[in-house]
Structure formats: structure tokens, C-alpha cells
Amino acid sequence: MMIKIGLLGLGTVGSGVFSILEKHAETIKRKVGTDLKIEKVLVKDKDKQRDLDFDDQILTDDIDEIINNEDIDLLVELIGGENPAYDYIIAALNSGKSVVTANKLVIAKYEQEIMGLAREKGVQINYEGSVAGGIPVIRPLKESFAANKIERLYGILNGTTNYILTKMTNEEREFDEVLAEAQSLGYAERDPHSDISGADAAYKISILSSIAFETSIDINGVYVEGIEGIELEDIKLAEELGYVIKLLAIAKYHQDGLDVRVHPAFISKEHPLALVNGVYNAIYLHGDAVGDVMSYGQGAGRMPTASAVVADIMQAARDIYYQRPEVDNLDSIYNHDLVNISQVENSFYLRLQVKDKPGVLAQITKIFGENQVSLASVIQKHRLSEIVPIVLVTHQVKEENINKSLTAIKGLDDVISIKNLIRVEEL
């Protein structure tokens, strides 16, 4: 029995998957137990020149030639985006085909529906490549850490933002300049919004949270904040205070449910995640039995992501060949509410611009005191100017209390602006 594949998309990752399947065909056959063959490839333009060696007859621009082809056992979706990818995945599952995808958006929004349909049809849905490129994390969460209660999980899950923050830190450059460089090098898209806004990392932490905490995560309930507001001044002050700034994806238990969020955070320079630089990604988790574990590697890119996708293809093909479909037990998931960010406690870094006048700091600290906000440190930079910066770091405090304080502080005549508010995460 030969396992036949319908491949959707021959772009960056799709071409990488094609190359691996061709280059390592004999090794893959030995490990799976049978041959794998790409039967059809869905593309937008069949006449486009491609740097791959294949018979043009496998190309199609008609999805029905794959969905309705009874010889195709496995659909591999690599076109990205919500639609038509979602429709194609649902159609494939309904037709009795197993599916492999690297589509973080579709999995984050429709995971339980898709998994339920796969179980109903007795087929598989694998999506290792959707979260951290070449870093194995989904299967380890399901299998290697299955004996653990995962208590907290932190991730640097977006290479673009990590590259930008690393360059700002190491080379003392401003955000806009480094973003333009990242775009010119291909590390950032022409429209970088999904990356720099934190949306990309939010999809990924939603997927990881659903597995780690055996629950269904509503992506709309995940708090998301990007790095657009981070300035070089904040980077330098973080260094002075013993921290680095990272876009952190966080998921952990809270007394009222699950705390799942994405935002820039100060983390100690001594923590292993602080050493994750450039376009690299990392996942740092704590299980009640295994303790702290960190996985590190390339979280995106043609071949790292293709590596994860091909591993999923091999797993699905092996189970098709031996007729042992692997399904998740959806009956055992827990109901966890997502905690509103206003109820989460953190320490905070706050940078203000104020008039250089006596009593301004006293007014600010009075407001904090009235809102049960305790200050851990205050840095007042003296400059030859009428406007000077004040930097404050708080002790642990509820988000709603810091927000009440900031509303009152904004009303002070001598406060020119609140330049930045960044959470301090004690991992």
C-alpha cells in the first residue's frame, strides 16, 4: 500500500516539504513502512517557474481534484490564512482523509471542532508545525509530559519580534530602524502587523495552552499586546535594572482560571529565556514531576517548519498504513475560564515624562498609595531640561489597581506623558 498525499501550497514551507520528501524518500519509507507519494499539488498558478524537479501533471488549481480523489489518503495544508484553508481542512476530514497543517490561525480558532470531526471520521489531524517551527513541542506535550500536570508555560514564540528586540538591545537601535532591516532580510513580512502586534504569538500560546491544560481556549479571551511601543530608552533602562525585554507568551494557572496572555515583559538577565536571541524561539515549562524544561531552536523558516510538517506526515502515514488512527479524547477536557487581565498580578515598570518641579514625585506616589500600589524602586533622571523622566518599578499589584493609578496620574498638570508601562515577569 502506497500512501498518497495531496499537498496544498508550494510556497516557502510547501517547497521545503516537497524537497524533504523527495530527498529522504528511502529513509522515510524505511521508517514509515511504505512509500509516500505526492499525488497532487494545489497551486494558484500552474505555469509559474519553480526551482523543483517534478512532473507538471501533479499540479492543479482545482481543490476538488484533491478532495474528491479517493486515491489520496492524506491532505497537507500549507497555504496559510483562515479561508479557504479552514474550508479545505473540513472538506478533507469529511471525505475521510487525514490532515497535516501548519496553520496556527485555523487551529487556534477551530481546534476543538476540527479535532472532533477528525475523531468522528476516524482520521488524524496533526499540526506540530503550527507553533514553533522546528522545535518539537505539541507531541512532547501530549506524550513525553503526559504524566505531568503542567503548571506554567512561557514562550518566545515569534522570531520577528525577538530579532527586533535583540537588535535594539545589542546594537542600541530604535524600533523603526530595526523593523525595516528585518523586512529587508526577510525576517518580517511587508505587512508585519501579525508579528509585532503579538497576534502570531497569541495563536501559538492558545494552541499550547489547550494541550498543556487539557481545555478549550477562546482566542478572543487571550490578552495581546505588541512591541510597537518599546523604545530604546526602555531597553537601556531594563539593562540598568538587571532585565531584558522579550515578547513573552504566558500560560499558567490562576486562582480564578487560566492566565493566558502575550505582551512585552521585563525578565531577569539571568533567566535562560533572556539568552534566546535573534530569530530563535524557545518554550519554557514547568511540570509537577519533571520540573523546569526548556526547548530551543528555529521557530520558523522554510526547512525548520518543513521538518516538523514532514514528521507529522510520517506519523499520519504510519498510522494509516497500520490502520491505527490516533485520536485525542475530547471527553476528558476541563472547563477553565480565562482570567481577565485586570485581575492578574504583576510587578510593573513605568516611565513618565514630568515637569522638573518640586512635589511632582510626591503627588505621583500619593496616588499610588491610594490605590494600594507599593513601589519597589524609583529612578529620577536629572537632565538640563524643563521636562525630566521618572522611572518607577512596583511590587506585585493587580492590573486594575495600576490602571486606576495611571488614570489619576494622567490628570496631574505636571505630568506630560506616560511613555511606557511594561510588566515585570518573575519566572
Active site residues: 204
The three-class DSSP label of residue 51 is coil
d(Cα 174, Cα 197) in Å, to the nearest integer?
A: 17
Region for 33 from its dihedrals, namely left if φ exceeds 0, alpha if ψ lies in -120 to 50, beta otherwise? left
Query: Would strands 59-60 and 125-126 be described as parallel, antiparallel, or unpaired?
Result: unpaired
Residue 296 to residue 310: CA distance in whole angstroms: 19
What CA–CA distance (Å, rounded) separates 361 from 132? 44
Around Cβ 83, how many Cβ atoms within 10 Å? Answer: 10
Residues 40, 68 contacting (CB under 8 angstroms): no
How far apart CA 416 and CA 413 sit, in angstroms, is 8
Distance in angstroms (rounded) separating the CA atoms of residues 362 and 360: 5
| 105's grid cell | 490561525
- The answer to whether 164 touches 170, Cβ cutoff 8 Å, is no
| Residues in Cβ contact with 357 at an 8 Å cutoff, skipping those fewer than 6 apart | 414
C-alpha torsion 345→349→350→356, nearest 10: 140
The grid coordinates listed for 101 are 497543517
